[in-house]
Amino acid sequence: MDIPKENFSDWYNAVIKEAELCDLRYNIKGFVVIMPNAADVISRMYRLYEDALERKGHRKSYFPALISEKNLEAEKEHVEGFAPEVFWVTKAGNNELEEKMIMRPTSETAMYPMYSLWINGRCDLPLKIYQSCQVWRYETKATKPLIRGREFYWIEAHNVFADEAGVLAQVKEDMETTEEMIHQSFGVPFIFFQRPQWDKFAGAVNTYAADTMMPDGKALQLPSTHNLGTNFAKVFNVKYMDDDGEEKLGWQTCYGPCISRIFAAIVSIHGDNKGIILPFHLANVQVVITPILRKEGADEVISFAQTITEQLSKKYKVVADFTENTPGFKYNFWELNGAAIRVEIGARDIESRKAVVVRRDTREKEFVPFEDLPKRIGEIGEEMNKSLREKADEWFATMLKEADTLEELKSAVENGGGFVKVPFCTDELEGESCAEKIKEECAANIRGSRYGVNEKPSGKKCIVCGKDATTYQYAARQY
């Protein structure tokens, strides 16, 4: 790697290629092959996220990838939101289908007709189901591997409750799960925004989304959670018989962490000019043993390195590099690929009974007695995870800005980007025209108001129309 991270787009493309995360040569635009180096990490992320959902009462199912046109069109707002970007299936072999089908862009219209069959009484609630799957959307904007494409890998959780209180509690739980997984476990900072009414999920009452910031100052949406109210329940007849004998509509939520996009955020935020850096528990190689081989004593070093490898492999994911490449080549190769800790073993180290241990994130070296290696590597792994999270948080704080005029906003997004807090007239539908003006003049989008933070403008005017500001909204350029 010889591309500075400050040139983020080129750096990202180089990492994707040189670390063999994706192969872009698949011959359908917007689709990439996720290679083993990325797929292994994504699989771990899936397991961790699924465990978190299951601890909180969700159960796993698998629903078909095809959805009937009739189901999609049942919910008016939903079809208006998704019809322009669906992939249609119109033929089977040489036969035209009597009814067109779509490849799922999301699964509300696949799952909820089944929910209407599964739910009878209040005893069937809450129903908390998730699936891990792919979805397909005909993305018309410029695509970027794992960040924005036409196929992505995610988890979607769809829940039904007896009343609005259950919905609101689930939205809060989804936010807590997002903090637990994406920030605490993966080290990626974000802000939870309540999307304005013109930008909410099609068919939802309210949408809340966790947005992170990429190194080039552009926002990237990570999980969103949606309060669907009873909108879909009315359409798909999701009802239950209450204890008083009255039939009532179910209240629903859905939650969608895109695992492949979260992986892109991890690589982008934690990586450096040498390549990728991963949290210790996600790394494909937690420990790389690099024997320092000289002509004299090489057999002894190799034998000793093999013994250490076997010992550490009982607890960690370990690779020993016995290739004939120079030590410098080995260091660069494993740093590019995100090996978390390097253990160097040479003849002198065997004599001193201490290995040279190097952290991937800081490249700090220390000498560790061989017998202490298993314990010390675990400690360094925990230190790495904490350090990566804290470093990301510190950087993220520098990406929060403020502006009171369109000129200030334009200057902010053109000079480093970030989330820019602006006084705004309203987050209701009538505010959309001001949001469009910001998009036209500043090439920025309104992301929403900061959820859970009491930010009310006093004596401020809307940055666009000049009316009294009733809310602070955050603007940013986005992927």
The share of the chain scoring above pLDDT 70, in percent, equals: 100
CATH of domain 8-270: 3.30.930.10
Q: Is the pLDDT of residue 382 over 90?
A: yes
CA-closest candidate to residue 260, choices 12, 419, 39:
39
Average pLDDT of the segment spanning 130-134: 98
pLDDT at position 3 over 80: no
51-66 pLDDT, tens digit each: 999 999 999 999 999 9
pLDDT of residue 173: 98
b/e map of 127-161 (b: 16 or more CB within 10 Å)? Answer: bbbbbbeebbbeeeeebbbbbbbbbbbbbbbbbbb
Could you tell me how many residues make up the chain? Answer: 479
Q: Per DSSP, which regions of 140-218 are E strands?
A: 151-161, 191-194, 206-213
pLDDT score of 308 more than 70: yes
Name the residue with higher pLDDT: 356 or 294: 356
Sheet containing 66-68, strands listed edge to edge, beginning at the edge strand earlier in sequence: 66-68, 95-103, 87-92
- CATH number of the 287-380 domain: 3.40.50.800
Reported as a single tens digit per residue, the pLDDT across 182-240 is 999 999 999 999 999 999 999 999 999 999 999 999 999 999 999 999 999 999 999 99
* pLDDT > 80? residue 297: no
Joined tokens for residue 281: 């528990």
Q: What is the pLDDT of residues 399-456, one digit of tens each?
A: 999 999 999 999 999 999 999 999 999 999 999 999 999 999 999 999 999 999 989 9
Give rounded-to-5 percent helix, strand, coil for the chain: 40, 30, 35
| Confidence (pLDDT) at 79 | 74
Half-sphere exposure of 302 (CA within 13 A, CB side): 11
What is residue 2's predicted lDDT score, i.e. its pLDDT?
Answer: 66
What's the confidence (pLDDT) of residue 83? Answer: 81
For the chain, which residues make up each domain, given as ranges? 8-270, 287-380, 400-476
- Listed range (95-99, 162-166, 183-187, 268-272) with the worst mean pLDDT: 95-99
In this predicted model, what pLDDT tens digit does every residue of 347-377 receive, in sequence order?
Answer: 999 999 999 999 999 999 999 999 999 999 9
Question: Does domain 400-476 match CATH 3.90.280.10?
Answer: no
Fold equal for 8-270 and 287-380: no
The pLDDT, as a whole number, for residue 372 is 97
Work out the pLDDT band at 1, boundaries 50, 70, 90.
Answer: low
